[in-house]
A and B are shown apart, each in its own frame.
Chain A
Amino acid sequence: MAIEVRIPTILRTYTDGARAVEGSGGTLRALLDDLETRHPGIHSRIVDDAGLRRFVNVYLNDEDVRFLDGIETVVADGDVVTVLPAVAGG
């Protein structure tokens, strides 16, 4: 078992076009570090020094992790993590 991570179109350049990849880790932070080992560059598109980027939404199953514990949210095998860029503008 692993954690499925759904990748938005704009980040599929880091996953050879794959719409979903698998990873492991006990928290979202560890999971993103694990993804970076196989998909170099993807980490900094989701995370900056302050935590999750403002323009990127990350969901654990059906919940926005901002309403959980952000990048420290606990994840487990069988979970689905979805990454979606915000749709916004001025």
Chain B
Amino acid sequence: MLRIRQDLVDAIVSHARADHPDEACGVIAGPAGADLPDRFIPMLNAARSPTFYEFDSMDLLRLYRAMDDNDEVPVVIYHSHTATEAYPSRTDVSYASEPDAHYVVVSTRETGAGDGPFELRSYRIVDGVISEEEITII
């Protein structure tokens, strides 16, 4: 189960809408061992694509160094799907490399950049296997 604050959910959705129709991506870091997302870190989608996302390589290095310095881990790794449902794609599974992270996918296909309904779901992706999990707002 993912426990997450409402303001962090709102931040993911805002970022996804702002970058629509390209995919948005980012991390919510939290203290190691606590499984609680806390620090919202929107990342640039270096691919600038409606069908792919990738953190820039140097941004990735700076991100992990900062988290190490703060004794944080990537509790949530999020990205948006802009034309399909909020379910991990085959590409998402093939790249997934943080077995302890919650992979959050938000879909903006219904409303695009505008307000309105959205779909936001959370998964574990371990050894190529997707397990959906409940989201509890705290």
Q: Which residues of A contact B (CB under 8 A)?
A: 8-10, 55, 57, 59, 62, 64, 66, 82, 84-90
Q: A9-B98, A10-B97, A10-B98 are in contact. Are A87 and B54 (CB under 8 A)?
A: yes
Return the 4 tightest CB-CB contacts between A and B, nearest first: A90-B91, A85-B97, A89-B92, A88-B54
Which of B3-11, B57-65, B107-115 participates in binding chain A?
B57-65
Contacts of B92 on A, CB cut-off 8 Å? 89-90
Alpha-carbon gap, A30 to B52, bound state (A)? 34
Secondary structure dominating the interface of B: mixed
Q: Is the CB of A90 within 8 A of B60?
A: no
A-B contacts, CB under 8 A, total: 68
Asked if B70 is at the interface (CB within 8 A of a chain A CB), the reply is no
Contacts of B88 on A, CB cut-off 8 Å? 89
Q: Is the CB of B99 within 8 A of A10?
A: yes
Q: Which residues of B contact A (CB under 8 A)?
A: 25, 27, 43, 47, 51-55, 57-58, 60-61, 64, 73, 77, 79, 88-92, 94-100
Q: Is the CB of B60 within 8 A of A89?
A: no
Q: Is the CB of A64 within 8 A of B58?
A: yes
Shortest beta-carbon distance from A75 to chain B in Å = 17
Q: Please give me the residue from chain A that is nearest to B79 by CB atom.
A: A89
Q: Is the CB of A86 within 8 A of B89?
A: no
Contacts of B64 on A, CB cut-off 8 Å? 82, 84
Contact of A90 among B51, B61, B77, B97 (CB under 8 A): B51
Q: A9-B100, A57-B60, A59-B61 are in contact. Are A88 and B55 (CB under 8 A)?
A: yes
Contacts of A87 on B, CB cut-off 8 Å? 25, 27, 43, 54-55, 60, 77, 95, 97-98
Alpha-carbon gap, A62 to B57, bound state (A)? 11
Q: Is the CB of A84 within 8 A of B79?
A: no
Contacts of A86 on B, CB cut-off 8 Å? 54-55, 57, 60, 95, 97
Interface centre among B27, B89, B92, B96 (most CB of A within 10 A): B96
Q: A9-B98, A10-B97 are in contact. Are A88 and B58 (CB under 8 A)?
A: no
